Structure 1
Amino acid sequence: MRKNIAGTSPWEAVVGYSRAVRVGPVVQVAGTTATSEGVVLHPGDVAGQTRAALAIIEGALREAGAELRHVIRTRLYVTDISQWEAIGRVHGEVFGSIRPACSMVQVAALIDPAHLVEIEAEAYVWDDAAEGISGE
């Protein structure tokens, strides 16, 4: 069964996508920026934008019946790779010992020039008792 999770991005209706989609145990979270109700949060602050984007992702996961501990992969698109350490530190703080597979790549631009980072996440929701996996 498929469950679409809507967000607050003004681009979702225009482009025709969902913030997240869950099919069975798999949750895919779309590219997420530090945007709320069409307003870019933390302009000029790459760490703040990373933290805000990850918080939005966490909310979408929760709505899909998942948690951060279920995230198995993230992809980070950044407009200035020289800021990798600030972005990476926030990612590390948020995920801690979960340590999903991760890629970070520089892109020429994101949809709004004020965006400094965009993050995608993939999660797999397992049954701890059945699989013997703690995820942490």
Structure 2
Amino acid sequence: MVSSGSPLEPQIGFSRAVRAGTYVAVAGTAPIGDDGCTVGPGDVYAQTTRCLDIAVRALQEAGASVGDVVRTRVMLTDVTQWKEAARAHGERFAAVRPACTFVEVSRFIEPDWLVEVEVDAVIAQEPS
């Protein structure tokens, strides 16, 4: 299990990421800065970039890399802004090209959050 240090983890009963064998699941990741405040209020691109930074750090802590990512889910409060989220996603995953889904949700826990990202990875086995 990988923890982000969020005080909500023990309260809710979740981990930032969990590794089971070669599979790594990164939970819905919000655009929260190191200071606990929302990064980039009103800016989907900045928020998506922050979500991806947090998710990639969790992957690395679990022993995975961006190249191991097989699926992403990008949840937006306004799907018409998908191109800004897609730009940030493409900067990170253009060479990997995981399966990806964009969906619209009504809202998140914090009203300033415009996006959350989930990431699934399968760690590549070393050739024998």
Answer whether contact 1:8 1:36 (CA < 8 A) is retained.
no
How far, CA to CA, are the matches of 2:6 and 2:73 in structure 1? Answer: 19
The whole-number CA distance in structure 1 between the counterparts of 2:6 and 2:30 is 9
Deviates more, 1:33-42 or 1:72-81: 33-42
Structure 2 gaps of 5+ residues are none
- The TM-score with structure 1 as length reference comes to 0.89
Equivalent position of 2:120 in the other structure: 122
**Deviation of the 1:10 alpha carbon:** 3.1
Tell me which of 67, 70, 78 is aligned to 1:72.
Answer: 70
What letter is aligned with 2:33? S
Offset at residue 119 of structure 1 (A): 0.4
Separation (CA, whole Å) in 2 of partners of 1:73 and 1:128: 21
* Between 106-115 and 119-128, the greater mean CA deviation after superposition: 119-128
Matched residues, percent identical? 44
Deviation, structure 1 residue 96 = 1.5
TM-score, normalising length: structure 2 = 0.94
Counterparts of 1:12 and 1:36, CA distance in 2: 16
Instruction: State the Cα RMSD in Å.
Output: 1.1
Whether 1:15 aligns to 2:12 is: yes
Amino acid at match of 1:114: D
Gaps of at least 5 residues in structure 1 are: 131-136
Determine which of 29, 32, 35 is the counterpart of 1:32. 29
When residues 18 and 65 of structure 1 are mapped into structure 2, their CA distance, relative to the original with a 3 A threshold, is: same
Which residue of 2 is the match for residue 87 of structure 1? 85
Q: Are the aligned partners of 1:9 and 1:36 in contact in 2 as well (CA < 8 Å)?
A: no
Q: Which has the larger strand fraction?
A: 1
